[in-house]
Amino acid sequence: MQIKDIIFPLNLKVVTGENALDKTIETGYIGDLLSVVMGKAPEGCVWVTVQSHINIVAVATLADIGCIIVSEGFVIDDEAIQKAVEENVVLLSSEESSYAIAKKLGQLGI
């Protein structure tokens, strides 16, 4: 499945990475402790987190994460947005809880 295939069903807002929405994602990961995400998130996954600062972009880049969904309406820092643009990281946002997003991703086959 491509990132663009989850945007409408999950009612996600595209914050950055509009030109990379055709990346393939096959699995997901939910976590807020960055060191754990770095070590355990599968390559190319969709990562759901409440973290919204610049370090999420570094983690996504180091772990080769497909995209990040910032959940629960957390506002993504301007520094994070700027760095995500520079690194071509797809940042998405949602008002829903991480759990609700995970359920929907599961229903979509992720």
CA–CA dist 20, 66 (Å, integer): 9
Tell me if 68 sits within 8 A of 77, measured CB to CB.
Answer: no
Q: Which residues does 97 contact at the CB level (< 8 Å), separation at least 6?
A: 71, 72
The pLDDT value recorded for residue 82 is: 98
- Prediction pTM value: 0.97
Give mean pLDDT in consecutive 10-residue pieces for the chain, a chain of 110 residues. 98 97 97 97 98 98 97 98 98 98 97
pLDDT of residue 81: 98
78-87 and 55-62 are packed helices; what angle lies between their axes, rounded to 10 degrees?
30
Q: What's the burial of 49, exposed, middle or buried (CB within 10 Å: 0-12/13-18/19+)?
A: buried
